[in-house]
Structures are given as structure tokens and as C-alpha cells.
Amino acid sequence: MWKNRRRIVALLGGAAVLLLPFLRIRGRSAARFDLPTLSLHFFGAVVPIDEFYLVLLGALFLVALTLWVTVVFGRLWCGWLCPQTVIRETGEWIASALPARYRRGGKTLLLLPFSALVSLSLLWYFLPPAEATRDLFRSPVLLGFFLSQWGVIYIMVAIVGPRFCKTACPYAMLQNVLSDRETLAVAYDPARPECLRCDGCIRACPVGIDIRVGVQRECIACASCIDACREATAGPGIAPFIAYRGTVLRGKAYLFAGGCLAAALVLLAAAWSRPDVRFAVQWEGKAGERRGNVYRYSVRNDSDQPVALALSVERPARLLDDPEVAVPPRGRVTGTLTVQGRNGTPEEILFTAEGRGFRIVRKAAFP
């Protein structure tokens, strides 16, 4: 039954979402936008907020991935992994163990702690999980976020439910534009116009549609109607009338997969070419009695190791300060340098920051 396969996928997906912030790679959460440091932690990499071009490239990759998945697999995401569907159906599944008359109320009650857990797990994607959980009732701001998210999630899964999928979900609108006749969809067998007319598929459908009249925008590809039809047709021993239909391997699928791969390669290239050490320098003012110019420099170390570097200027200019700088892991050091010119000093000074495995040259205007 598709229902069992979907439950396994939903449980695995749910566990991954809940556990990912707890998974530590190189001492950091595997996935979190860390609010205290304003940086994105992603599987061991740290992307500071001023390098958000990487996040934009990541978003570009996700858009390409969404286009590819949607063109090829239709609304499989909606029926199999969308949190709306997964939370609601998990509540229904557990409540199905209750006596029939308590199931509806049981599901409504169960969705309360489920929604709370989802709301809390969202906080874990912005603050260290242990810290967020410990401070939940100490920080009014944190508690406010938690309660408002909890309320919205509960309303979405327990009250609005599949009506959102039918009427407001933007992904459903996108589906209309992207899907074609070969996109994977749940469909009635057009070669068999007459079925058993048991209406089992309609009763099983969470969005309340009759798939026998054709593929519809509201369908979330959950396959509940396929399971219902399989049960109905098991007695007479005939093949179900409803199934997943479509062509996965085709030209358009390869084209979108190529776009997705290209976006992934651009993202990886940008991530791998990021320098660990950044050096910037600019003129700050006249040095007064020392008869030179003062320049302010900044060195940022984005690696997990301390960095030692030496600063120098191109002759004929001369550096009057100590040119040795030590920068702690993921730290930043700023300071000033006094540069004394000689006859023939150019209008721009060339500064060099040199350390183990790197050499960075920056120009600074000479006033």
C-alpha cells in the first residue's frame, strides 16, 4: 500500500528535520542560520551574512531543483513530504488506534503537541538547540516567537488543513504552469471508462475530489485513492483503475536536471573559491609628527585555525609600525599602520598581507 510507503518517507523526513540541528559537524550544527553570529552553518561550512551571495546561489540551486522535481514528479512533494500533510496525517495515524468515536477529537488534541514540537524545532534552526530549549520560558521574545509559530502551525494543520492545498498554496499554482501531459500524476486509467462505482476513491481523498473525471490541480498526489481502489478491486480480482502515471525519463526532464546540475556546480565553485583570510586597507589621515600617512587595515579569518601574517608596503614607501598580526579562528583584527613616503612614492600604496599559504595585495589611495 502507498500509505505505508508514505508513512516511512514521512517518518524519515520528519526525523531528519528534527535531528539536523543536533547533528554536529566540525563542532557546529549541521544546518542553522545562527542568529548570535549572523552566519549560516551548513554541514560544517560557515557563511557570514556579508557573504550571502552564497546563500543566493544556494537559493538559485533550490529553485532549479524545485523546477526539475515539479516538472518530472508533479506534486509528489505535497503528498509525501509537505509538513502540512505529514503532521496532519501522522496525527490521524496515531489517532486511528483510538476507538472510532474518539478519533476526531484525539487527532485534534494530538496535533497540539505536534505543532508545538514543530514550532520549537524551527527555533533550533536559528539558535543552538540546547540554548533555545533552555531559554524558552526565560526569554519573552523567544516565548513570543514560539507561541505565535505554534498557533499558526496548529491552525494550518488542524483547522485549515487540505483547504490550503486546494485554494492558497503557491506551489499548487506553480504546478499549473510547469506540469505537462507527461508529468507524474495520479490518474484514472483512460482506457477503462467504467469502474466499479464504489466511490471509495472519493471517500479516501483528503482534498475531496473525484480523480475519475481527470487529473486536477487540487490533487496532492498522496495516492490514498490508489490504495482505496486497490482494496475495492481486490475482491473481483481486477487491476486498480487509478495509478501513478507519467514519463520520468524524457528530454524535458534531462534539460531541467542539467539546469539543476549547473546551479549546483556554480554554488560549489563559489563555495570552494572562498578565501579563508580577507584583508582590507584604506587611508585614514595624516600622521602628524611622524611625517607620513595613517592607514586602517582589517584582517578577517574565516577558518577554524589561528592565522599569523606579516604586513608590508611596496618600496619606496616604508612601514613605521610592527607589521606582525595574529588573527584568532573566525576572528577579525583591525589596526592602523603609519606609512612614510620617500621621493617618488606613487599615488597609490601597495600593501601586502602574507602568511602561510596566502599572499593578498591591496591598493590604498595616497592623498
For residue 80, how far is the Cα from the chain centroid?
Answer: 18
Segment contacting ligand SF4 by CB under 6 A, of 7-15, 95-103, 197-205, 320-328? 197-205
Question: Of 101, 181, 197, 356, which lies in the binding site for ligand SF4, with binding defined by CB under 6 A?
Answer: 197
Exposed/middle/buried for 170, CB within 10 Å: 0-12, 13-18, 19+? exposed
Q: Which residues contact 104 (CB under 8 A, 6 or more apart)?
A: 95
- Where do the DSSP E strands lie in the chain? 24-25, 28-29, 31-34, 39-42, 45-48, 185-188, 242-245, 277-286, 293-301, 307-313, 318-319, 324-327, 332-340, 348-355, 358-365
Question: Of 95, 142, 207, 364, which lies in the binding site for ligand SF4, with binding defined by CB under 6 A?
Answer: 207
Question: Of 204, 253, 313, 364, which lies in the binding site for ligand SF4, with binding defined by CB under 6 A?
Answer: 204
Interaction residues for ligand SF4, span 24-53 (CB under 6 A): none
- The answer to the question of residue 209 lying near ligand SF4 (CB under 6 A) is yes
Question: Of 71, 86, 158, 222, which lies in the binding site for ligand SF4, with binding defined by CB under 6 A?
Answer: 222
d(CA 165, CA 292): 69
- On the question of a cis peptide bond just before residue 170, with omega within 30 degrees of 0, the verdict is no
Looking at the Cβ atoms of 211 and 267, the one nearer to ligand SF4 is 211
Looking at the Cβ atoms of 192 and 274, the one nearer to ligand SF4 is 192
Question: Of 95, 172, 201, 364, which lies in the binding site for ligand SF4, with binding defined by CB under 6 A?
Answer: 201
d(CA 208, CA 74): 19
Closest CA to 242 of 206, 281, 202: 202
Looking at the Cβ atoms of 207 and 327, the one nearer to ligand SF4 is 207
Question: Of 91, 200, 246, 355, which lies in the binding site for ligand SF4, with binding defined by CB under 6 A?
Answer: 200
Closest CA to 162 of 78, 54, 262, 67: 78
Interaction residues for ligand SF4, span 289-348 (CB under 6 A): none
- Per-residue binding string, ligand SF4, 224-243, x by CB under 6 A, is xx--xx--xx-------xx-
Q: Which positions lie near ligand SF4, rule CB under 6 A?
A: 186, 195-201, 204-207, 209, 211-212, 219-225, 228-229, 232-233, 241-242
